[in-house]
Structure 1
Amino acid sequence: MNVVWTTEALRMLDEIEQFIAQDNPQRASDFIDRLLEKGDAIASFPEMGRVVPEIAQSGIREILVGTYRIVYKETPDHMVILTVFEGHRSLRYEELDP
């Protein structure tokens, strides 16, 4: 099963990288690589993440990477990364495009 990153998720990765790069461009690049690797690992272990507490739907899960949350869902054909965001804020269902 392959992983598909939504436009929103890719946009958020770009924002995260730009934010971190203000202080340390190399660290920003390394962290984005780490997020991408963790996201791609979901294909092998789809249930490794927990159900997103704010959403409480079994089909929408998340994994934590540092202080960031990668939110995803499984479809019959692939895993879809819906968004990536800083974990100290709550996620609203309206922010997803499941």
Structure 2
Amino acid sequence: MILEFSDEAENDLEQIADYIAWDNPRRALSFVRELRSKCEDLVDSPNGFALVPRYEHHGIRRRVHGNYLIFYRSRTRR
């Protein structure tokens, strides 16, 4: 599996960093790194997390990290 971030996901990460940076700029950077790392870990076990109810037919899954949800879809390469 190859990890790709959608434009919307990249924008979400930037907004999360901006929000955290108001109180703690250093933590903002480290937290976004943690989120990206959790996403990268999905490459090794893409089916390791539950399908999202009502979106199973789209193959949408979610992983929790702190107070944040990581939504993703695993697709085979063509």
Structure 1, 27-36 or 42-51: larger mean CA deviation? 42-51
Structure 1 stretches of 4+ with a deviation exceeding 2 A read none
CA contact (8 A) 2:47 2:74 kept: no
Alignment gaps of 5+ in structure 1: 78-98
Q: Secondary structure at the match of 1:12?
A: helix
Aligned length: 76
> Which of the pair is proportionally richer in helix?
2
Higher normalized strand content (fraction of residues): 1
Q: Which of 1 and 2 has greater Rg?
A: 2
Q: Which residue of 1 aligns with 2:42?
A: 42
Where does residue 22 of structure 2 map in the other structure?
Answer: 22
Deviations 1:2-45 (A, max 9, x none): 10000000000000000000000011101000000000111101
Select the structure with the greater relative contact order (CA < 8 A; seq sep ≥ 6): 1
Match for 1:64: what amino acid?
A: V
TM norm structure 1: 0.73
Structure 2 residue ranges without an equivalent (≥5): none
Superposition RMSD in Å: 1.1
1:34-78, Cα deviation, whole Å (9 max, x unpaired): 00000011110101221123x34161101000010010001112x
What are the equivalent positions in structure 2 for 1:34-73 lying under 5 Å apart? 34-53=34-53, 55-57=54-56, 59-73=59-73
Identical residues among aligned pairs (%): 33
